[in-house]
Structure 1
Amino acid sequence: MAFVFKKESIWGERKVFSYLFSGSPMGQSANEYLRSLLVFHGLGGIILFGILMFQDRLPLNPLHLNGLSWHLALNTTISFITNTNWQAYSGESQLSYFSQTLGLAPQNFYSAAVGISVLCFVGRGLSSSQTNEFGNFWVDLYRATFYILLPLSILLALVLVSQGVVQSFDAPIQSIGLDGFKQTIPLGPAASQISIKQLGTNGGGFFGVNSAHPFENPTAISNFLESFSILFLPAASIFLFGKLVGSFKHAWVIFFVMLTFLFIGYAIVYSSEVNTAGIWEGKETRFSWIESTFWMSATTAASNGSVNAMHDSFSPLAGSIALFQMMIGEVIFGGVGTGMYGMFLFIVLTVFLSGLMTGRTPELFGKKIGSFEMKWTLFGILAPSVCILIGSAISTFFESGYSAKGPHALSQILYAYSSASGNNGSAFAGFAADSIWGNLSLGVCMLVGRFSVIASSIYVAASLGKKITAKSTEGSFRTDTILFGILLFSILILVCGLTFFPFLTLGPILEHFLLGAGKFF
C-alpha cells in the first residue's frame, strides 16, 4: 500500500490519467480534495438510488422483485456510500441480482477506497511543510480501487467459491422440503460481494442473515478467511500511515493500543458467553464460542458490521462491549483507512491535553497544534456522539422499532444509532428500522458519522501541513513511546466513558444484573 501511494507515477497510469485529466493530475488543497470526494459520492448516490427504486424495470431480476420504497432506497443508498452497509432489508428477498452486483458492489469498492484516500491525504499533510496541496483525490481513488481492493477481492472470491460460497446468476431453486412444504433455495452472485464486503469493512451481506447463512459462509475455512479479512486491511492502514508520516515506530504504538482494546474486549465477550452457556437462540451452532465471539469482537471493532451469529442474542455484557467499540468512534482498527484517520483525531487530542498537563506547546510531528486544529478535532470526535444520543433519545418515545422491553429495549436503540453513527452496519436483530423515522434518522446519523470525521481529518491535516516543521529536541513530546500509548489508551476510555457510561449502565449493564437474577427481556 505504501509503495502504491508514495509513487509519483505507476506504469500504465499516464495514459489513463491523460485521458481523464487531459494531462497530469493536479495537486489539490483541502477544499478541493473534499469537494471532489463529495461530488463523487453524490453522483454515485444518485445512480444507486435510481437502481434501487426502479429495480423492477431492470434486468437480472428472476424473482420479479419490486423497487424499494423511497425511504428504504434512500437509507440503503446512504448506507453503502458511507461504508456503513446498514441493512433494513433482506438481500435475497428484496434486492435483484442487478441491484446487488451493479448497485451495491461498486459502492463497496468506492467507499473503502475513499477511506484509504483520506488516510493518504492525512499522512501527506503531516509529512509536509508549508504547502497547500496534498495529492489528488481521483488518483488516490483509482489506485486504492484497482491496485489494492480489486486484486485482493478477486483472489478472496475465488477461494470462497472453492469453499462452496455461491456465485451464480441462476434463479432461486424451488423445492419440496423434508416436511413436505415448498421452500425457496436462494442463489446469486454472492462470493464476489462477500469478498469486498469483508476486505473493505463494508459488512452488508448478500443474504439477510449475513455470514450466518451457509451459502455465504459454509465451512470453517471460509469462516476463518472472512473473519481474518475484517482486520486485514484496517491493520495494514496503520502501518501505511506510519510509512507516510515517516515514523514506523509511531505506527507500532498505535497498533498495540488498538490490539489491547481488541483483546480486552474479546476476553470479556468470550467469558460472558461461556458463563451464560445454554442460551442458544440466535446463535449459529456450526461455529464454536471462540469463532462467534471473536467475529463479534472483530466486526464491531473494525467498522465491518458483518455477523456470523445474531448480536441481539449475545449476553448483555457481550453486547455492551460491541456497543462500546462502536461508541468509541470505530477506531479500534476501524474501517479501511477510516479507523486510522479517526484515531488521528484522538492522537491530536492526546498531544494537546498532554501539552496542557506538562506546560509544553502541543506539537505533533514538529507542527504546533492551535485553536483551529482543536476545534475541528473536537467536532470530528463529538459529532457522531451527538447523533447517537439525540437519535436514541427521540426513538425512546416511539413504541415501534424495538421488540424488547426494559433495559434491552434501550440497548437495541443505542445499538442501532451507534452502528449508524459509527458507520458499522451491524444491528441487534430485534430493532426493525424499515420505517420512515428509522430510515431517515439513521440515514442522517450515517452521513454525519462519515463526513464529519472525514472533513475534520482533512482540515486538521491540511492546517498542520501548511505550518513550518520544527526540529525535534529533547524537550519535544514523543509519540512513539509506551507512555504515549498509555495516554492515548486513557483518553479513548475517558472520552467514551464520560459520554456514554450512564446509558450503558441503564441498558446492557443493568440487564446483566437482572439476567443474574433470572429475569429475561
Structure 2
Amino acid sequence: MSSTVAGLLQVGLLILALAVVYRPFGDYMARVYTGTKHSRVERAIYRVARIDPESEQRWGTYALGVLGFSFMGVVVLYVLQRVQPLLPFAYDRGAVPPGMAFNTAISFVTNTNWQSYVPETVLGHTVQMAGLTVQNFVSAAVGMAVAVALVRGFVRSKADRLGNFWVDLVRGTTRILLPIAFVFAIVLVATGVVMSLKAGVSVDGQTVATAPVASQEAIKELGTNGGGVLNANSAHPFENPNAWSNLIEIFLILLIPVSLTRTFGTMVGDRKQGHVLLGVMGALWSAMLAVIWVAEANGLRPLEGKEVRFGIPSSALFANATTGTSTGAVNAMHDSFTGLGGGGAMLNMLFGEMTPGGVGTGLYSILVMAVIAMFLAGLMVGRTPEYLGKKLGRKEVTAAAVSILAMPTVLLIGAGIAAILPSTGAALNNPGEHGLSEILYAYASASNNNGSAFAGITVTNDWFQASLGVCMALGRFVPIIAVLALAGFLAEQRKVPATAGTLPTTGPLFGTLLAGSIVLVAALTFVPALALGPIAEALL
C-alpha cells in the first residue's frame, strides 16, 4: 500500500471518529456549562475555596478571576522549579535557572508549553506532575471558560452577568478534561506509551530516560497544550510508539476544538450556526493540510533530518493538526520541513489558530473574527452590522479589533527586535531565509500560545527567555480581556429580530465572508514578513 493511500485512510479514519463523537460530545459540553446542579466533588471544592457557585459575575470580575488565577499559577510553578532539589523524584536535577523558570511558568500557564530546555535532564517527575501536568488541565479549562462566557454574551439579553468563572473552571476540569484524559491515558499505555516513575532504564550500557509519560501525553494533546516530558516530544517512541498512538493523539488534539462548534450551536439555539463555523475551520484546515503534504511529498528543497518513522502523510497530518490548534506537540521536527511545508505550518498559526484553534481559544477567536466579518459586510451595504441578533457598534468592534491585533503586534515587534540583535546569529542553526523563518516561527509560536518550534534555534539566552515569555503572556491575556469585554457589551444588549435586510449567518455566503476575512487579515499582516522567510526559501 502506497504512503499516499495509507495517509488518506488515516485522514478518513480521523474524520470518521470526529464525526461520530461530534454530536453527543458537543451537546454534553453544552449541558456541562448550562446545568444548574453541582456534584458532590464540586461542592467540596467550592466550600474549601469559599466560592458561592450560585453567584454570577460581570465581565470585569470574570476577567479578574482569570488573571488572578493565572498569576498564582505562574508563581506556584516558578517556585516549584526553583525548589526542585527539595522535592521527591528530583533525581539530582538542580534548581531551574531563574530565566528558564520564568519562561516555563508563563509558558504552561498560558497553554503555550514552549520548552527551551531538555525536559528529561532539567525537570524531575514531581515538577512534571504537580506543576506542568496540573497546568495542562487548568489552562485548558480557562480557555473553555472564556469561550463559554462569550457565547453567553450572545445568548443573554439585557444582562450584566456572564456566569461564574470559578464554576466554569471547575466544571471544565472535573467533568470534561479529567475523565477523558484518564481514559485515554490508559488507552495510550495499551498502545505502548511509557508510564514509569523511574528516572531511566539501562539499555546496552546507555541510560534511556523514562517518565510518567502516558498521563501527561493524554492531557497534553486533549488540552491542546503540547509540552512533552521528553525532548523529542511526540516524535519519541516512548511518547508516540506507533501509527495507532499517532492517530489517537491527533484525534485528541482536534476533539474539543471541533466539538465546541456543536456546543456553540446548541447554546445559541441554532445548530446551523455551529455548522458554519465548523465548515470554515474545516475548509482552511484541509487547504493547509494539502499544502504541507504536497510540499513534503515533492521534496522541494528538503532539509536535513527528515522524519522517516511515521512517513510524510502522518507527519504532515500531525503538523497541520498541532499548528492549526494551539497544541505545539510534534511528531516530526518542523525545522526539517521544506520551505513551503514549514511555511504552511507557520501560516496555520498566523491565521490566529482558529482552524480549528485551541481548546476554547479557537471558538472565541473565530467568533471574534465573525464579528469583524459582519462589521465589514455592514460597511459594504451601508447597514448597522448585526450578528446573532446583537448590533455591532463602536464598543463591540473595538473590543474585537483589540483581540485580533494583539497577536500580530507582539509577534512582529518581538521578531523584529530579535532579527537585528547581534546575539541572535549565534542562536540560529541556519543563515539567510531559513534563519529568519526560525525567528518568525519562534515568535509566532509564543504569541499564538502554540509552543511548537522549528528546533533550529537555541532560545536559552536571557533575551529569548524574557521576550518570548512576554509574548506568551500578552498573546494570551490581552485577547482574553478583550473577548470578555466584548461578551459583556453583547450581554447588555436586547436581541433585535431578523429582518429582510439581515445577512443570514447559516449559509455559504457568510461562511465565505468569514473564511475570506481570516485569510485577508493574515495576508495583510504577515505577507511582507513571510516573503522574506519561508516564501523566499520556497522559491530559491
Q: Among residues 163, 167, 170, which one is paired with 1:139 in the alignment?
A: 167
Query: 1:38 maps to which residue?
Result: 67
Q: Among residues 447, 455, 472, which one is paired with 2:481 in the alignment?
A: 455
**Do the aligned residues in 1 keep the contact of 2:162 with 2:487 (CA within 8 Å)?**
no
Q: What amino acid is aligned across from residue 193 of structure 2 in structure 1? A: V
**Do the aligned residues in 2 keep the contact of 1:85 with 1:203 (CA within 8 Å)?**
yes
Which 4+ stretches in 1 moved above 6 angstroms? none
Query: 1:161 maps to which residue?
Result: 189
1:95 counterpart = 2:123: yes
**Do the aligned residues in 1 keep the contact of 2:333 with 2:455 (CA within 8 Å)?**
yes
**Do the aligned residues in 2 keep the contact of 1:18 with 1:24 (CA within 8 Å)?**
no
The offset of 1:279, in angstroms, is: 4.2
Distance 1:435 1:512, change over 3 A: same
**Do the aligned residues in 1 keep the contact of 2:328 with 2:452 (CA within 8 Å)?**
yes
Q: Which sections of structure 1, spanning at least 5 residues, go unmatched?
A: 177-181, 515-521
Instruction: Compute the TM-score of the two structures, normalised by the length of structure 2.
Output: 0.92
Q: Among residues 62, 66, 79, which one is paired with 1:50 in the alignment?
A: 79
**Do the aligned residues in 2 keep the contact of 1:2 with 1:244 (CA within 8 Å)?**
yes
SS at 2:95 equivalent: coil
Distance 1:70 1:15, change over 3 A: closer
Q: What amino acid is aligned across from residue 55 of structure 2 in structure 1? A: M
Q: Among residues 245, 253, 263, which one is paired with 1:230 in the alignment?
A: 253
Q: What amino acid is aligned across from residue 423 of structure 1 in structure 2? A: N
Query: 1:411 maps to which residue?
Result: 437
**Do the aligned residues in 1 keep the contact of 2:410 with 2:447 (CA within 8 Å)?**
yes
SS at 2:66 equivalent: helix
Aligned pair count reads 508
- C-alpha separation in 1, matches of 2:194 and 2:306: 22
Distance 1:427 1:474, change over 3 A: same
Q: Among residues 55, 75, 87, which one is paired with 2:103 in the alignment?
A: 75
1:128 counterpart = 2:156: yes
Percent sequence identity over matched residues? 43
Query: 1:396 maps to which residue?
Result: 419
Structure 1 segment 112-511 matched on structure 2, within 5 A? 112-176=140-204, 182-276=205-299, 279=302, 281-398=304-421, 399-511=425-537
The offset of 1:173, in angstroms, is: 2.0
- C-alpha separation in 1, matches of 2:222 and 2:438: 27
1:66 counterpart = 2:66: no
Query: 1:28 maps to which residue?
Result: 57
Encode CA deviations 1:307-339: one digit per residue, 9 max, x unaligned.
Answer: 000000001001111111111211111110111
The offset of 1:184, in angstroms, is: 1.4
- C-alpha separation in 2, matches of 1:375 and 1:148: 33
Encode CA deviations 1:405-453: one digit per residue, 9 max, x unaligned.
Answer: 1100110000000000000000011111111000110011101111111
SS at 2:533 equivalent: helix
- C-alpha separation in 1, matches of 2:313 and 2:51: 54
The offset of 1:22, in angstroms, is: 6.2
- C-alpha separation in 1, matches of 2:533 and 2:239: 32
- C-alpha separation in 2, matches of 1:270 and 1:426: 18
- C-alpha separation in 1, matches of 2:141 and 2:394: 31
Q: What amino acid is aligned across from residue 251 of structure 1 in structure 2? A: G
SS at 2:226 equivalent: coil
- C-alpha separation in 2, matches of 1:18 and 1:474: 51
The offset of 1:477, in angstroms, is: 1.9
Root-mean-square deviation (CA), in Å?
A: 1.4
- C-alpha separation in 1, matches of 2:51 and 2:190: 43
1:107 counterpart = 2:135: yes
- C-alpha separation in 1, matches of 2:200 and 2:43: 45
SS at 2:206 equivalent: strand
**Do the aligned residues in 1 keep the contact of 2:217 with 2:239 (CA within 8 Å)?**
yes
The offset of 1:245, in angstroms, is: 1.9
- C-alpha separation in 2, matches of 1:381 and 1:324: 15
Distance 1:448 1:454, change over 3 A: same
Distance 1:164 1:414, change over 3 A: same
The offset of 1:486, in angstroms, is: 0.3
